[in-house]
Amino acid sequence: MIKLVRIDHRLIHGQVALTWTNAISADCILVANDEILNDPIQKTTLKLAAPHNVKVVIKSIQDSIDAINSGKTDKYKLFVVTKTISDAKRLANGVEQIKSVNIGSVKETSGSSALTHTIFVTEEERAELKGMVSEGIEVFAQQVPTDKAIDLKKSL
């Protein structure tokens, strides 16, 4: 069962590994990203960053979609983390049970503008977020569980 889908360019780090995992009682973190699969050092680093009692699985976006839809992940309290807005949109398009997406951090890049102090989006990313919202997916900003969730619908 999916407990949370989060966009965070840092993937697994302190907030994700400890704060969010504990808050949602996750027992498995699924990192859904195509690039990470080809980087053995980053894969190892991500696995080491997670609590020892939390399983870490790293899959491509399509393999993540297939695994979730097949029911293989149903036995887990699943915390899905994507690196980019595009990754999250592809995942949400392929997995009907995704009803909300948390955005933690999207780094500033050339041509991006601030939605919040930790979320910077390009026009293409803004369009992807609008697309998710128009498909009925709640998109919200929340750095840590104790922060108030901010619905980004009006900011897009």
Question: Cβ(120)–Cβ(108) under 8 Å?
Answer: yes
Task: Check pLDDT > 90 for residue 94.
Answer: yes
Render pLDDT for 95-147 as a digit per residue (tens, 0 to 9).
Answer: 999 999 999 999 999 999 999 999 999 999 999 999 999 999 999 999 999 99
pLDDT at position 156 is: 87
- Side by side, the strands of the sheet bearing 138-141 are 55-59, 28-32, 78-82, 2-8, 100-105, 138-141, 150-151
pLDDT at position 151 is: 96
Render pLDDT for 1-15 as a digit per residue (tens, 0 to 9).
Answer: 999 999 999 999 987
Rg (CA), the chain: 14
pLDDT at position 15 is: 79
Question: Cβ(54)–Cβ(25) under 8 Å?
Answer: no
pLDDT at position 14 is: 85
Render pLDDT for 107-121 as a digit per residue (tens, 0 to 9).
Answer: 999 999 999 999 999
- The DSSP secondary-structure symbol of 17 reads I
Domains observed in the chain: 2-155 (3.40.35.10)
2 forms bridges with which residues in the sheet? 78
